[in-house]
Structure 1
Amino acid sequence: MALLSSPRPLPTHFSASTSTSLLLRRRPITACQVCTPKQPLNHSTVSVSEASADDELWAAACLRIRSFNNFKPTTFGLQDHKKFLAEREFEAMKERVSGKRKGFGRVSCINATVPLSHFSSLSVSADDLCASCKFTNNGEERVVVGTLDLNQCVSLPDEITGSRPKEIGADFARAYLSNVCVANELLRNGLGHALVAKSKMVAKDWGISDLYVHVAVDNEPAKQLYTKSGFVYESDEPAWQARFLDRPRRLLLWFGIPGVQL
């Protein structure tokens, strides 16, 4: 999977247990098939929009679990573990999107989706994009192939904090992108650019003036994506902090939303 920015840590208070009605609506994460596009992605079939329905949020959570983890196929109980992680991310996403996450003004899950009919030639694989990341919208089955979160907040947990805007009002005029990923099956189709472009539009509607994203110093594809999208360097993470958090050192990139005045 293509990891375009670092995932935000999950809240520790969420458990895998959920209501029966939600469990019935969710599709299990299985390891039986992988989708192969019929042809290079037809961009007229791509929809990039904010998600609110549980089914789509669940599909996005499953894509993130596939993207942010390197699972060994021989691991005992792997599918149960994947489902547990997806359950946690799903519950955390619902809390953030519903506005219940302390310290956040707004959070939007923005997804890139394509119709299930775009895929064919199913074959056996450890990954299963179509089955795991599928949802139904107005009677049409679609697949989440890219996702990110737009977070209106002063800072993200355990991350470098942006310095703009400096005026009073930074608590509602600053936002961060997180959990940015694109399915490996559809890399180099411009989906990352489309997700970032949509996030800028939503941020502008919210009155956001300063948009940030964190990226690992050695993640060249992600840095190229954000540079082409207009982001510039602002600061970087101290080496001691990266060692303490046991992760690659990160850069903080900034983009000024045109036409937004505080």
Structure 2
Amino acid sequence: MALLFSLPPPSSPSSSSPSFSSHCFSISLSSGHQSGRRIRFLPVAATTTTHNRQHSIPLDKSSLAVAEASEEDQLWAAACLRVRSFYDFQDSSYGIHERIAGKRKGFKRVSCINATLPLSQLSSSANDLCAACKFTSNGEDRVVVGTLDLNRCLWLPEEIAGTKPEGIEAGFGRAYLSNVCVARELHRNGLGYDIVTKSKIVAEEWGITDLYVHVAVGNEPAKNLYMKSGFIHENDEPAWQARFLDRPRRILLWIGLPCTNEL
């Protein structure tokens, strides 16, 4: 099951300040969960995202789990964290639009990778986060505190495409990170680095040789995160494309990965 973001036109601009967004898709859940609710999102331009400088809650990461998500409750919690990070969202006036999970055209494979912590570790210091992003797994209440999507595909919609690998292997060996975010209360705890590191491990298991991420030209915290993770500059979005899409310009970062599994 995958998280895919389908973004209808918004009625007003977002006022939120997410940290590490790359690109936004739509959530796709099986039809039995929270049926009938709908949500309208505003797509976040990666170049407008900034690092939130508010006070950060220090963490004991001994109970942190970073893994691919498959259970609906956890996917739902991840979607709520993304909404909370990327959009000006009020639960009283919005809902989640659900569809039966399926494969997005042009995408070979998509995985949601989450960082989660026990609810008991956060409940006294981050009530809003716990209420919005909680899920239950194997009888334990946990909270999604960081999330991203790993997408095996040739390109992301409305983004410049990577150039590696070339030829017939490109569709199987190339992947992109998207929807990268960390709960604002928990910035500066290395959670962004943790989920990006896990995404590289999963990508290697898929046989990905070339991993990409788009980031805003002016988003220094995000660029620092990715470069700390080993990414280097490959390309710049043309200024005309950014103007046409009415967004700040982006750059494309790349990292080469060892192929440890079959394509």
TM-score grouping bracket, smaller chain normalisation: 0.7 to 0.9
Matches of 2:22 and 2:147 in 1, distance apart? 12
Q: How many residue pairs align between the two structures?
A: 228
Separation of aligned partners in 1, 2:69 and 2:121: 21
Distance 1:191 1:148 in 2: 11
- Distance (whole Å) between structure 2 residues aligned to residue 172 and residue 103 of structure 1: 11
AA aligned opposite 1:107? V
Q: Which consecutive aligned stretches of 4+ in structure 1 deviate over 4 angstroms post-superposition?
A: 259-262
Q: 1:23 maps to what in 2?
A: 34
| 2:83 equivalent to 1:65 | yes
The answer to whether the 8 A contact 2:118-2:143 is kept is yes
Amino acid of the structure 1 residue aligned with 2:168:
I
SS of the aligned residue for 1:181 comes to strand
Please report how far the alpha carbon of residue 244 of structure 1 lies from its aligned counterpart in structure 2 after TM superposition.
1.5
- Aligned CA RMSD, in angstroms, stands at 2.7
Distance 1:40 1:258, change over 3 A: same
In the TM superposition, what whole-angstrom CA distance separates every residue of 1:22-42 from its partner, at most 9, and x where no partner exists?
A: 117x9xxxxxxxxxx997211
Q: Which of 74, 77, 83 is equivalent to 1:56?
A: 74
Percent identity reads 61
- Structure 2 stretches of 5 or more lacking a match? 1-16, 38-54
How much has 1:245 moved relative to structure 2?
Answer: 1.3
Q: Which residue of 2 aligns with 1:110?
A: 113
Given the two structures, how large is their TM-score scaled by the length of structure 2? 0.79
Deviation at 1:181, TM superposition (A): 0.2
Is residue 91 of structure 2 the alignment partner of residue 79 of structure 1? yes
More helix by share: 1
Distance 1:158 1:101 in 2: 15
What is the CA–CA distance in structure 2 between the aligned matches of 1:38 and 1:213, rounded to whole Å?
Answer: 25
Which structure shows the higher strand fraction?
1
Distance in 1 between the 2:18 and 2:24 partners?
Answer: 16
The corresponding residue for 1:44 is 62
In structure 2, how many angstroms separate the alpha carbons of the residues matched to 1:229 and 1:48? 16
Question: Do the aligned residues in 2 keep the contact of 1:209 with 1:260 (CA within 8 Å)?
Answer: no
Is 1:8–1:157's contact at 8 Å kept on the other side of the alignment? no
Tell me the TM-score normalised to structure 1 length.
Answer: 0.79
Question: Offset of 1:259 from its aligned partner?
Answer: 4.5
Matched residues in 2 for 1:79 and 1:111: separation?
22
Residue identity opposite 1:79 in structure 2: D
| Structure 1: tracts of 5 or more residues without a match | 27-36, 72-77
Map 1:105-184 to 2 at 5 A.
105-121=108-124, 128-184=128-184
Q: Deviation per CA, 1:111-165: give whole Å up to 9, x if none.
A: 00000000243688xxx21011000010000000000000000111111100000
State which of 23, 33, 47 in structure 2 corresponds to 1:7.
23
